[in-house]
Amino acid sequence: MMRLHGKPPFTAAVIHGGPGACGSLYALAHTLSAGTGVLEPIQSRYEVEALVQELLEQLSPYAHTRQLVVIGHSWGAWLSLLAAERRPDFFKHLVLIGCPPLTPHYTQQIQEKRLENLSLDLAQRYVQALKTLTNGPQSQKPQAMKELDVLCSRADNVCPVDLGPDPDGLAPDAYAFETVWPQAQTLRENGSLLKTITHLRPPVTLIQGLQDPHPAKGVTEPFSLCKKHLNVHLLPRCGHSPFAEKYAQKPFYQMMRQILD
């Protein structure tokens, strides 16, 4: 599925996170489309390799006309990296937003920071939702995914704004999270993401909130280790999703306009 925002030419694409956070970038795509046509691919497959192939298939009709600025959020940043290694000719610029650490070194810190940011009651609900998604009955997983989505928004962001429901009724896909995320973690643990960085050709920009539980060092250090240049923008009073943060929205969109121009 592909949603189109604005008018041709379509020069940018936003890649949602999760895995399975379908529709989470509608507001980002819609806002950016005031200046250029924006693609919003919706992922539907349940293996990392199949997702990379799906994304390239979705971008191909547009990337053959002109290279694209591809903007990946959270897990979508990883998926965009994997796709950029495969078809660098599709990518004019790669923008990573709220990118998770690319090596295992900082992963423990993420959960600790999230639990620290939640009240005791909410922290317990967060832990229970994770358990349900990984080992609970299938019938309870969609609700657990919704619960986790809400709690992560509370834990990961400083002052989130309500972007409203998805206009097409898209909802998080619990099965995608359950099946894809363990595969993605394996890529981090076995060094595959580092190898991906070494083969990157398009310019890459990282935009990360200073209060994001996903530390920027988890991305900047691997890029440095691989001797790859990375443009870095760290936003104060900002967590995981700067496009949904009260204090970061304005500087974030200023950065995006500069990149898209």
Looking up tokens 């592909």, which residue turns up? Answer: 2
What confidence score (pLDDT) does residue 171 get? 84
- Left, alpha or beta for 101 (phi > 0: left; psi -120 to 50: alpha)? beta
What confidence score (pLDDT) does residue 208 get? 97
What confidence score (pLDDT) does residue 169 get? 87
What confidence score (pLDDT) does residue 148 get? 76
At 210-252, the pLDDT tens digits run 999 999 999 999 999 999 999 999 999 999 999 999 999 999 9
What confidence score (pLDDT) does residue 74 get? 95
Cis peptide before 167 (omega within 30 of 0): no
User: Model confidence at 29, in pLDDT bands (50, 70, 90)?
Assistant: very high
Tell me the whole-structure pTM to 2 decimals: 0.90
Reduced to 3 states (helix: H, G, I; strand: E, B; else coil), residue 4 is strand
Instruction: Give the burial class of 190: count Cβ atoms within 10 A of its Cβ; 0-12 exposed, 13-18 middle, 19 or more buried.
Output: exposed
* pLDDT at residue 145 is higher than 80: no
Percent of the chain with pLDDT over 70: 100
At 147-190, the pLDDT tens digits run 877 787 788 888 988 888 888 889 888 889 889 999 999 999 99
For 100-130, b where at least 16 C-beta lie within 10 A, e where not — what string? bbbbeebbeebeebbbebbeeebbebbeebb
User: Model confidence at 105, in pLDDT bands (50, 70, 90)?
Assistant: confident
Instruction: Residues 2-106+157-260: name the CATH superfamily.
Output: Alpha/Beta hydrolase fold, catalytic domain (3.40.50.1820)
Task: Give CA–CA dist 164/79, Å, rounded.
Answer: 25
Q: How many Cβ atoms sit within 10 Å of the Cβ of residue 165?
A: 11
What confidence score (pLDDT) does residue 132 get? 86
* pLDDT at residue 34 is higher than 90: yes
* pLDDT at residue 118 is higher than 90: no
